[in-house]
């Protein structure tokens, strides 16, 4: 069945870059998304990429998409303690709803 895979934990030091990886299954996915969930809060859309793009940059965030390998990554430059959160990768399944990965917990130490 459909599945979105992410590593569960990532720990970095403040000021370093963070890279969160995701693999997805549906090659027909039109959009792929990254959501952020801070402790005790709902999900906030961070960024998304259209399937005909290879890369998207938005301030400190860079999304890379490799359609051949069905691999998506989110790079956060100059990671700050405020970036500590759970990051979810999600793919849009044709005719249904977003399918989410299990989430990657990013821990940033000062």
Partner 1 sequence: DADVTQTPRNRITKTGKRIMLECSQTKGHDRMYWYRQDPGLGLRLIYYSFDVKDINKGEISDGYSVSRQAQAKFSLSLESAIPNQTALYFCATSDGTGNYGYTFGSGTRLTVV
Q: Which residues bind partner 1 (CB under 8 A)?
A: 4, 8, 30-31, 33, 35, 41-45, 48, 50, 88, 90, 92, 96-103
Closest CB to partner 1 among 8 and 77? 8
Closest CB to partner 1 among 79 and 92? 92
Residue reference for tokens 């979810």 = 88
Closest CB to partner 1 among 8 and 19? 8
Closest CB to partner 1 among 14 and 21? 21
88 vs 7, 10, 73, CA distance in Å? 10, 13, 11
Residue reference for tokens 């990013």 = 106
Rounded to 5°, angle at Cα 50 from 47 and 56: 55
| Min CB(24)–partner 1 separation in Å | 13
| DSSP E strands, 14-102 | 18-23, 31-37, 43-50, 55-58, 61-66, 71-76, 85-92, 98-100
């Amino acid at each position: 069945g459909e599945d979105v895979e992410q590593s569960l934990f990532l720990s970095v030091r403040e000021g370093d870059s963070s890279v969160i990886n995701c693999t997805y299954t549906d090659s027909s996915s039109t959009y792929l998304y990254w959501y952020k969930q801070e402790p005790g809060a709902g999900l906030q859309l961070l960024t998304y990429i259209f399937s005909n793009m290879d890369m998207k940059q938005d301030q400190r965030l860079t999304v890379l998409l490799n359609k051949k390998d069905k691999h998506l990554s989110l790079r956060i430059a100059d990671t700050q303690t405020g970036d500590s959160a759970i990051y979810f990768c999600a793919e849009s399944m044709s005719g249904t709803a977003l399918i989410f990965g299990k989430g990657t917990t990013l821990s940033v130490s000062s």
